Amino acid sequence: MKAQWIAGQWHKPARAKIPVVNPATEEILDYIPRGTAADADLAVRAARQAFETWRWIPALEKAQMLHRLAGDLRARQKKLATLMTQEGGKPFCENRDEVEWVAACFQYYAEVGRNSRGNSIPPTFHHQVNFTIKEPYGVVVGIIPWNYPLLLMVWKVAPALMAGNTVILKPSNETPLSLLSIADLFGKHLPAGVVNIVTGRGAEIGEALIQHPGTDLIAITGSTETGKRVGQLCAAQVKKFHGELGGNDPFIVCEDADLDIASRAACWAAFLNTGQVCTSCKRLYVFESVADEFTKLAVKHAKSLKLGNGLKPDTDLGPMINLRQLEDVHHRVRQAVNDGARILCGGRRSPKFKKGFFYEPTVLTDVEHDMNLVQTETFGPVLPIMRVKDIDHAIWLANDSAYGLGANIYTNNMEWAMKAMERITAGTFWINDPLTDNDAGPFGGMRQTGHSRELGEEGLDEFRETKHVHLDYKAERKTYWYPYAKYNKLTS
């Protein structure tokens, strides 16, 4: 059974435990502690104490630590990718890439974080200097989802550390093992207490961390419903809330697009990590003039994909994370069919496997925009195809959503691409290359997706607050001080 990582050492686990299940085999991989409010308090105290030293360590030294951490992560790439596949189900190659992205992100913030600490601004009077300095908040709580357990950790941890904060991480109970397995690297390269890891149920240890008076910023990636709950708890304390919440991304295919490329791109964007990605293609709008041909190609490609254990080299799609998630997706698909949609392939739990939460990649047509499948976030391997008349129709439907995380378009018509880019409400807009991230490019959403940003310099600033410094290097009595009678006489 794993333990809690607090103050640079393993903390004796609580008696209660939570099983971690392999979604491909339904076997128990290990157990993690069901942490308590007492564990949360211990972690906060450790992070609070470490903060008093960590915030003052020069940025160059912090950067060197993060570079060394990145190197050790790469050395463990195969081992980590294997464990991530076992606990999360993603194909090994996707997890291998995730480890590389994590290492690269640590390196990116190692450099960006030592590049600036504020700005010089013009003064308003003689012999004065004005500037800003950006300071850490203090103790950051990172609540990490199960679909990208290391990547969505580093998007919070790397900028938070370079900004001078200390961190407490609460991984998902579905995929906590990969994060716990690198606790020793945090211990090797960082002072004790700078990064702590605690496990348990969200309503117990998670809320204890959020409401603890010793935490200063709560960063979460999760559903909009969970984000609303966390945001309410933070608002009650006037505590900084950093949320990357649900998404329901549109994908537009115009009549001039290369349909073979666009159909393959749409399938990859819809089925990556078995559709369990916040920026998955969840609403596909295709020009009527090419809809039949596009649909035929998409179905052909979806049927060619291999479902299986992510550790097998020929697997394209792994299992869904658990039975609850699989049943939710299947319910949404059946509801759409009852409302008039047609299943062209998939639409069921795979009968090929006696164990595991495998759901076949699914393509639907005759989908209506007002169906629940389209209006809410469907977190699974489902590609719902809808027809549109033209680019204006596609833009209108793309914007008819409560979310605003990402959006995609396939076209060679620059006017259509730029018009859609300007008018669709989304934090990231991809043209002819879906779901690609860039460490230097800010990631986040609008509307009910939340208004925070990760990655880029914007991601660093999310973990710093600005202080304005006003300096007058010639101390003298000001004419506008008391008594006002003399001041009024001078200015009359």
Give the SS3 label for residue 53.
helix
Cβ atoms of 13 and 4 within 8 Å: the answer is yes
* Whole-number Å distance between alpha carbons of 38 and 45: 11
The rounded distance, in Å, linking the Cα atoms of 181 and 112 is 27
* Closest of 5, 357, 70, 23 to residue 175, by C-alpha: 23
Q: 283, 374 in Cβ contact below 8 A?
A: yes
Q: Which of 154, 140, 112 minimizes the C-alpha distance to 216?
A: 140
Please state, in angstroms and rounded to a whole number, the distance separating the CA atoms of residues 147 and 84. 10
Residue ranges of domains in the chain, CATH in brackets: 4-245+462-470 (3.40.605.10), 249-431 (3.40.309.10)
Residue 431: beta bridge partners? 409
Q: Which of 143, 146, 161 is nearest to 98 (CA)?
A: 146
Dump pLDDT digits (tens) for 454-466.
999 999 999 999 9
Place of tokens 């099983």: 19
What does the pLDDT look like over 76-129, one tens digit per residue? 999 999 999 999 999 999 999 999 999 999 999 999 999 989 999 999 999 999
Torsion sign (Cα): 4, 9, 11, 17: positive
Q: Which residues of the chain have pLDDT under 50?
A: none
Predicted pLDDT of residue 486: 86
Active site (catalytic) residues: 244, 278
334-341 contacts at long range (C-beta below 8 A, 24 or more positions apart): 335/371, 335/372, 335/373, 336/364, 336/367, 336/371, 336/372, 336/373, 336/384, 337/364, 339/368, 339/371, 340/366, 340/368, 341/365, 341/366, 341/367, 341/368, 341/371, 341/373, 341/384
Provide the pLDDT for residue 12: 86
Query: What is the token pair recorded at 331?
Result: 């319910």
44: left (phi > 0), else alpha (psi -120 to 50), else beta? alpha
Token couple for 145: 């989802």
Torsion of CA 435, 441, 443, 446, to 10 degrees: -110
